[in-house]
Amino acid sequence: MWRGRTSTTTMSVEVERKFVCNADTLKTLEKIGAVCLGQRQFCDQYFDTPTFKLTLRDLWLRKRKECWELKCPTAVNEEKETSGERSKAAALCSRYKEITNLPEIQLRVKEVLKDVCEDRETETSRSQEDEAWLSRMNLVCFAEFTTMRRSFTVEEEGVQIDLDQADFGYSVGEIEVLVPEGGDVPSALEKIKRTADMLGLTGDQRVEGKMSVYLKRNYPEHYAKLLSEHVL
Ligand code: V4E
Protein backbone atom coordinates (compact mmCIF):
# COMPACT_ATOMS: atom_id res chain seq x y z
CA MET A 1 0.00 0.00 0.00
CA TRP A 2 0.92 3.70 -0.24
CA ARG A 3 2.64 5.43 2.68
CA GLY A 4 -0.93 5.84 3.81
CA ARG A 5 -0.68 2.48 5.55
CA THR A 6 -0.99 4.42 8.72
CA SER A 7 -3.48 2.17 10.47
CA THR A 8 -2.85 2.13 14.20
CA THR A 9 -3.57 -1.59 14.48
CA THR A 10 -0.59 -3.89 14.24
CA MET A 11 -2.60 -6.52 12.42
CA SER A 12 -4.72 -6.17 9.31
CA VAL A 13 -5.69 -8.34 6.37
CA GLU A 14 -4.42 -7.43 2.93
CA VAL A 15 -6.82 -8.58 0.23
CA GLU A 16 -5.23 -8.35 -3.16
CA ARG A 17 -5.65 -9.28 -6.80
CA LYS A 18 -2.65 -9.15 -9.09
CA PHE A 19 -2.98 -8.39 -12.77
CA VAL A 20 -0.86 -8.09 -15.89
CA CYS A 21 -0.33 -4.44 -16.81
CA ASN A 22 0.13 -3.37 -20.40
CA ALA A 23 0.67 -0.22 -22.43
CA ASP A 24 -3.01 0.75 -21.98
CA THR A 25 -3.19 0.38 -18.19
CA LEU A 26 -2.34 4.02 -17.45
CA LYS A 27 -4.93 5.27 -19.96
CA THR A 28 -7.55 2.97 -18.47
CA LEU A 29 -6.76 4.16 -14.94
CA GLU A 30 -7.24 7.74 -16.11
CA LYS A 31 -10.48 6.84 -17.87
CA ILE A 32 -12.01 5.28 -14.75
CA GLY A 33 -11.04 8.33 -12.69
CA ALA A 34 -8.31 6.70 -10.61
CA VAL A 35 -6.28 9.32 -8.74
CA CYS A 36 -2.50 9.05 -8.80
CA LEU A 37 -1.03 8.99 -5.29
CA GLY A 38 2.55 9.18 -6.45
CA GLN A 39 5.60 7.10 -7.12
CA ARG A 40 8.14 5.67 -4.74
CA GLN A 41 11.00 3.23 -4.69
CA PHE A 42 11.74 0.71 -1.95
CA CYS A 43 14.03 -2.21 -1.33
CA ASP A 44 12.63 -5.42 0.16
CA GLN A 45 14.66 -8.02 2.01
CA TYR A 46 13.01 -11.37 2.72
CA PHE A 47 14.24 -13.70 5.47
CA ASP A 48 13.92 -17.41 6.16
CA THR A 49 15.94 -20.28 7.63
CA PRO A 50 18.42 -21.95 5.25
CA THR A 51 15.87 -24.77 4.79
CA PHE A 52 12.97 -22.34 4.17
CA LYS A 53 10.90 -23.32 7.21
CA LEU A 54 8.85 -20.11 7.11
CA THR A 55 7.96 -19.89 3.44
CA LEU A 56 7.07 -23.59 3.34
CA ARG A 57 4.37 -22.62 5.86
CA ASP A 58 3.37 -19.65 3.74
CA LEU A 59 4.93 -17.17 6.19
CA TRP A 60 6.73 -14.23 4.58
CA LEU A 61 9.10 -12.20 6.74
CA ARG A 62 10.15 -8.93 5.18
CA LYS A 63 12.06 -5.76 5.96
CA ARG A 64 11.06 -2.73 3.91
CA LYS A 65 12.35 0.76 4.67
CA GLU A 66 13.47 -0.28 8.17
CA CYS A 67 10.00 -1.69 8.96
CA TRP A 68 9.37 -5.37 9.61
CA GLU A 69 6.32 -7.22 8.35
CA LEU A 70 5.18 -10.80 8.63
CA LYS A 71 2.52 -11.98 6.19
CA CYS A 72 0.58 -15.02 7.34
CA PRO A 73 -2.21 -16.95 5.62
CA THR A 74 -5.78 -16.42 6.80
CA ALA A 75 -8.52 -19.03 6.96
CA VAL A 76 -10.54 -18.50 3.77
CA ASN A 77 -13.98 -19.14 5.23
CA GLU A 78 -15.63 -15.77 4.95
CA GLU A 79 -16.75 -16.36 1.36
CA LYS A 80 -18.25 -19.84 1.74
CA GLU A 81 -21.66 -18.57 0.76
CA THR A 82 -20.59 -16.96 -2.50
CA SER A 83 -21.00 -18.77 -5.75
CA GLY A 84 -20.64 -18.34 -9.52
CA GLU A 85 -18.92 -15.20 -10.75
CA ARG A 86 -18.28 -13.90 -7.25
CA SER A 87 -16.51 -17.00 -6.09
CA LYS A 88 -14.46 -17.13 -9.31
CA ALA A 89 -13.39 -13.52 -8.71
CA ALA A 90 -12.64 -14.28 -5.04
CA ALA A 91 -10.40 -17.17 -6.09
CA LEU A 92 -8.19 -14.69 -7.96
CA CYS A 93 -7.52 -12.77 -4.74
CA SER A 94 -5.06 -13.54 -1.97
CA ARG A 95 -5.70 -12.67 1.68
CA TYR A 96 -2.83 -12.40 4.11
CA LYS A 97 -2.72 -11.21 7.68
CA GLU A 98 -0.02 -8.59 8.09
CA ILE A 99 1.74 -8.27 11.41
CA THR A 100 3.86 -5.14 11.72
CA ASN A 101 4.71 -5.06 15.41
CA LEU A 102 8.23 -6.46 15.85
CA PRO A 103 7.72 -8.22 19.22
CA GLU A 104 4.57 -9.88 17.81
CA ILE A 105 6.50 -10.93 14.71
CA GLN A 106 9.33 -12.38 16.81
CA LEU A 107 6.87 -14.30 18.98
CA ARG A 108 5.08 -15.78 15.98
CA VAL A 109 8.33 -16.73 14.24
CA LYS A 110 9.71 -18.23 17.45
CA GLU A 111 6.59 -20.40 17.82
CA VAL A 112 7.01 -21.71 14.30
CA LEU A 113 10.76 -22.27 14.61
CA LYS A 114 10.75 -23.74 18.13
CA ASP A 115 13.30 -26.37 17.24
CA VAL A 116 15.86 -24.05 15.68
CA CYS A 117 15.74 -21.06 18.03
CA GLU A 118 18.56 -20.53 20.46
CA ASP A 119 17.44 -19.27 23.83
CA ARG A 120 20.71 -17.64 24.75
CA GLU A 121 20.91 -13.87 24.60
CA THR A 122 23.87 -12.85 22.50
CA GLU A 123 25.81 -9.82 23.61
CA THR A 124 25.18 -7.05 21.15
CA SER A 125 25.85 -3.41 20.78
CA ARG A 126 22.85 -1.13 20.23
CA SER A 127 23.51 -1.01 16.48
CA GLN A 128 23.50 -4.80 16.25
CA GLU A 129 20.52 -5.57 18.43
CA ASP A 130 18.00 -5.08 15.63
CA GLU A 131 19.49 -7.95 13.70
CA ALA A 132 20.61 -10.17 16.61
CA TRP A 133 17.22 -11.90 16.80
CA LEU A 134 17.66 -13.01 13.20
CA SER A 135 20.81 -14.93 13.98
CA ARG A 136 19.28 -16.39 17.18
CA MET A 137 16.46 -17.78 15.04
CA ASN A 138 18.83 -18.84 12.26
CA LEU A 139 17.21 -16.48 9.77
CA VAL A 140 19.08 -15.26 6.71
CA CYS A 141 18.18 -12.94 3.86
CA PHE A 142 17.29 -15.03 0.81
CA ALA A 143 15.91 -12.32 -1.47
CA GLU A 144 16.60 -8.66 -1.97
CA PHE A 145 15.22 -6.49 -4.72
CA THR A 146 14.09 -2.96 -5.43
CA THR A 147 10.65 -1.99 -6.68
CA MET A 148 9.50 1.19 -8.38
CA ARG A 149 5.81 1.58 -7.49
CA ARG A 150 3.23 3.96 -8.90
CA SER A 151 0.10 4.06 -6.77
CA PHE A 152 -3.46 5.08 -7.62
CA THR A 153 -6.73 5.05 -5.77
CA VAL A 154 -10.32 4.62 -6.85
CA GLU A 155 -11.64 6.77 -4.03
CA GLU A 156 -15.29 5.76 -4.17
CA GLU A 157 -14.31 2.09 -3.77
CA GLY A 158 -11.53 2.67 -1.24
CA VAL A 159 -9.15 0.49 -3.24
CA GLN A 160 -5.53 1.09 -4.08
CA ILE A 161 -3.97 0.09 -7.37
CA ASP A 162 -0.20 -0.35 -7.50
CA LEU A 163 1.86 -0.71 -10.65
CA ASP A 164 5.16 -2.32 -9.69
CA GLN A 165 8.40 -2.65 -11.64
CA ALA A 166 10.95 -4.85 -9.92
CA ASP A 167 14.64 -4.36 -10.69
CA PHE A 168 15.03 -7.99 -11.80
CA GLY A 169 12.82 -7.31 -14.81
CA TYR A 170 9.26 -8.13 -13.80
CA SER A 171 6.22 -5.84 -13.75
CA VAL A 172 2.87 -6.53 -12.15
CA GLY A 173 -0.25 -4.64 -11.10
CA GLU A 174 -2.18 -5.13 -7.85
CA ILE A 175 -5.63 -4.06 -6.73
CA GLU A 176 -5.73 -4.10 -2.96
CA VAL A 177 -7.77 -3.31 0.08
CA LEU A 178 -6.43 -3.31 3.61
CA VAL A 179 -9.04 -4.62 6.03
CA PRO A 180 -8.57 -3.92 9.75
CA GLU A 181 -8.62 -7.00 11.98
CA GLY A 182 -12.16 -8.35 12.25
CA GLY A 183 -13.24 -6.22 9.25
CA ASP A 184 -15.35 -7.14 6.26
CA VAL A 185 -13.29 -9.29 3.86
CA PRO A 186 -16.24 -10.19 1.55
CA SER A 187 -16.90 -6.48 1.02
CA ALA A 188 -13.20 -5.99 0.15
CA LEU A 189 -13.52 -8.81 -2.41
CA GLU A 190 -16.55 -7.05 -3.93
CA LYS A 191 -14.64 -3.77 -4.21
CA ILE A 192 -11.75 -5.53 -5.90
CA LYS A 193 -14.10 -7.29 -8.32
CA ARG A 194 -15.84 -4.03 -9.29
CA THR A 195 -12.45 -2.35 -9.82
CA ALA A 196 -11.18 -5.29 -11.90
CA ASP A 197 -14.34 -5.04 -14.03
CA MET A 198 -13.79 -1.30 -14.51
CA LEU A 199 -10.22 -2.02 -15.60
CA GLY A 200 -11.53 -4.61 -18.05
CA LEU A 201 -9.51 -7.46 -16.53
CA THR A 202 -10.67 -10.63 -18.15
CA GLY A 203 -8.08 -13.25 -17.12
CA ASP A 204 -9.31 -16.12 -15.00
CA GLN A 205 -5.86 -17.25 -13.83
CA ARG A 206 -3.98 -15.93 -10.82
CA VAL A 207 -1.12 -13.69 -11.90
CA GLU A 208 2.32 -14.31 -10.39
CA GLY A 209 3.70 -11.86 -7.87
CA LYS A 210 7.24 -10.54 -7.76
CA MET A 211 8.39 -13.03 -5.14
CA SER A 212 7.05 -15.98 -7.12
CA VAL A 213 9.02 -14.93 -10.17
CA TYR A 214 12.11 -14.17 -8.05
CA LEU A 215 12.01 -17.65 -6.50
CA LYS A 216 11.43 -19.35 -9.85
CA ARG A 217 14.55 -17.67 -11.23
CA ASN A 218 16.83 -17.87 -8.19
CA TYR A 219 15.68 -20.91 -6.19
CA PRO A 220 13.97 -23.21 -8.72
CA GLU A 221 13.97 -26.23 -6.39
CA HIS A 222 12.38 -24.32 -3.55
CA TYR A 223 9.91 -22.75 -5.99
CA ALA A 224 8.91 -26.24 -7.19
CA LYS A 225 8.44 -27.35 -3.59
CA LEU A 226 6.24 -24.34 -2.80
CA LEU A 227 4.14 -25.15 -5.86
CA SER A 228 3.78 -28.80 -4.88
CA GLU A 229 2.84 -27.76 -1.30
CA HIS A 230 0.26 -25.33 -2.81
CA VAL A 231 1.88 -22.33 -1.13
CA LEU A 232 2.27 -20.61 -4.52
C1 V4E B 1 4.96 -14.43 -2.03
C2 V4E B 1 4.01 -14.03 -0.98
C3 V4E B 1 4.20 -12.97 -0.15
C4 V4E B 1 5.32 -12.02 -0.13
C5 V4E B 1 4.81 -10.66 -0.56
O6 V4E B 1 4.36 -10.78 -1.84
P7 V4E B 1 3.55 -9.61 -2.55
O8 V4E B 1 2.29 -9.29 -1.81
O9 V4E B 1 3.43 -10.00 -3.95
O10 V4E B 1 4.55 -8.39 -2.40
P11 V4E B 1 4.27 -6.85 -2.52
O12 V4E B 1 5.57 -6.19 -2.76
O13 V4E B 1 3.21 -6.56 -3.50
O14 V4E B 1 3.76 -6.50 -1.06
P15 V4E B 1 2.82 -5.30 -0.60
O16 V4E B 1 3.53 -4.02 -0.91
O17 V4E B 1 1.51 -5.43 -1.32
O18 V4E B 1 2.69 -5.51 0.90
S19 V4E B 1 2.89 -12.82 0.92
C20 V4E B 1 2.16 -14.15 0.24
N21 V4E B 1 2.83 -14.68 -0.74
C22 V4E B 1 2.30 -15.80 -1.48
C23 V4E B 1 1.40 -15.33 -2.59
C24 V4E B 1 0.53 -16.22 -3.21
N25 V4E B 1 0.46 -17.50 -2.82
N26 V4E B 1 -0.28 -15.81 -4.22
C27 V4E B 1 -0.21 -14.54 -4.64
C28 V4E B 1 -1.08 -14.10 -5.78
N29 V4E B 1 0.61 -13.66 -4.07
C30 V4E B 1 1.40 -14.04 -3.07
CA of 115 to the centre of ligand 1 (A): 27
Reported as a pLDDT band with limits 50, 70 and 90, residue 88 is confident
Q: What is the pTM of this model?
A: 0.88
Distances from the Cα of 114 to the Cα of 109, 110, 136, angstroms? 8, 6, 11
Let me know: does 77 contact 88? Beta carbons within 8 Å.
no
More confident residue, 148 or 24: 148
Distances from the Cα of 169 to the Cα of 25, 27, 42, 145, 172, angstroms? 18, 22, 15, 10, 10
- Tell me: pLDDT of 78 over 60: no
Q: What is the mean pLDDT of residues 189-198?
A: 93
Residue 57, ligand 1, Cβ within 6 A: no
CA of 34 to the centre of ligand 1 (A): 23
CA 208, CA 169: separation in Å to the nearest integer?
13
Q: What is the mean pLDDT of residues 198-226?
A: 94
Q: Provide the mean pLDDT of the chain.
A: 87
CA of 211 to the centre of ligand 1 (A): 7
Residue 163, ligand 1, Cβ within 6 A: no
CA of 124 to the centre of ligand 1 (A): 33
Q: What is the mean pLDDT of residues 95-107?
A: 93
Q: What is the mean pLDDT of residues 48-71?
A: 95
Is residue 215 classed as helix, strand or coil in its secondary structure? Answer: helix
* pLDDT tens-digit map of 117-157: 655 555 555 446 667 899 999 999 999 999 999 999 998 88
Residue 211, ligand 1, Cβ within 6 A: yes
CA of 123 to the centre of ligand 1 (A): 34
Residue 86 confidence (pLDDT): 74
Residue 71, ligand 1, Cβ within 6 A: yes
Residue 20 confidence (pLDDT): 94
- Tell me: pLDDT of 190 over 70: yes
Q: What is the mean pLDDT of residues 37-59?
A: 96
Let me know: does 81 contact 108? Beta carbons within 8 Å.
no
Residue 30 confidence (pLDDT): 93
The vertex-211 CA angle with 155 and 181, nearest 5°, equals 45
Reported as a pLDDT band with limits 50, 70 and 90, residue 22 is confident
Strand bridging mode 11-19 / 67-73: unpaired
Pocket test for ligand 1, best of 62, 94, 164, 165 (most atoms within 8 A of CB): 94
Residues ≥6 apart with Cβ < 8 Å to 106 = 133, 137
CA 164, CA 149: separation in Å to the nearest integer?
5
Burial 64-77 (b: 16+ CB within 10 A, else e): eeeebbbbbebeee
